[in-house]
Amino acid sequence: MPRELMSTRRRMTIATWKPPREGIIHGVITLEATNVLDYIDRARDLTGEKVTMTSFVGSATGRALALEPTLNGYIAFGKYYAYDDVSLSFLVQVDGGKQLAQVLVRDIDTMTPAQVAAKLQEGAGHVRSGKDENFKKSADIASKVPTWVLRRIFSLAGTSTVALGKPFGGQPRYPFGAAIITSVGMLGVDEAFVPPTPFARVPLYVAVGAIRDMVFPIDGQPQVRKGVTIVATLDHRFVDGFQAATVARAFKKYFEEPDTLGPLIAPTAAEVAASAANSA
């Protein structure tokens, strides 16, 4: 028999793919990124963190979701339940891109892009160094079990971790949060439509495209500026156009005024105490 030439990631993809049963909304927004790139440069200089467009988009998405609780939740047994916090996951490459893992960032709506970047670096480092026991356990199962059995396992995993809120197969409860963010720009791709992953039970998928020279109307005149295209895939069971527009408006505001995402450097304990005393 021919030797199986599939990575664990490919086995997982084959096992989990099936035609979508949910209504899907795709949204594309192209934004002028001059202010954001300036903010990212300042954030890197002041914090020393590897702030990227992806960590900025994650912070902005978390803030936007906090304004629209109909997207920050999950559906289980025919009912919608809102999460108590805003948590998002980011896809990171492992083993030279042969594998993908998720890094969950909790309470992301309270974080600056620099703080998100720090969490991503920490989480990605744990996965790539083999210290993430959850990823190791999940990958081990996926590498040994036939794909037709994997389909059932992943279905059970989604039901257990999200619908029931119980750990399963190396994955913690609510392992993906309310959205999955992936950077296709790092691959040189301008835009991509992310397909839903059934077992993740996530209402929102965000793809961050490459930063390119684009033409934007500035004061009524066409000018070449740096821009980026963000593509969202949304589950229509969670959201209609009105709610999606609420998130999009907030997202655009953060691109126009990136400093509204919070101070570049977190205040010290003494500064927090002084601020609390002044407010009393």
154: Cβ–Cβ under 8 A, 6 or more apart, which residues? 12, 15, 16, 198, 199
Q: Give residue 111's pLDDT.
A: 94
Contact, 172 vs 194, CB < 8 A?
no
Residue 130's CATH number: 3.30.559.10
Does residue 3 lie in a domain region?
no
Could you tell me the pLDDT band of residue 2, with boundaries at 50, 70 and 90? Answer: very low
Does residue 124 lie in a domain region?
yes
Q: Could you tell me the residue range of the domain that residue 121 belongs to?
A: 9-279
Does residue 41 lie in a domain region?
yes
Res. 268: pLDDT tops 80: no
Check residue 29 and give left, alpha or beta (phi > 0: left; psi -120 to 50: alpha): beta
Does residue 2 lie in a domain region?
no
Q: Give residue 21's pLDDT.
A: 66
The least confident of 47-56, 165-174, 223-232 is: 165-174
d(CA 239, CA 68): 9
128: Cβ–Cβ under 8 A, 6 or more apart, which residues? 92, 94
The count of structural domains within the chain is: 1
Does residue 201 lie in a domain region?
yes
Does residue 1 lie in a domain region?
no
- Cα distances from 206 to residues 55, 98, 265, in angstroms, run 12, 21, 26
User: To which H or E segment does residue 234 belong?
Assistant: strand 221-235
Does residue 4 lie in a domain region?
no
Alpha carbon 258 to its chain centroid, in Å, reads: 18
Does residue 142 lie in a domain region?
yes
Res. 133: pLDDT tops 90: no
What SS3 string covers 76-143? Answer: ECCEEEECCCCCEEEEEEECCCCEEEEEEECCHHHCCHHHHHHHHHHHHHHHHCCCCHHHHHHHHHHH
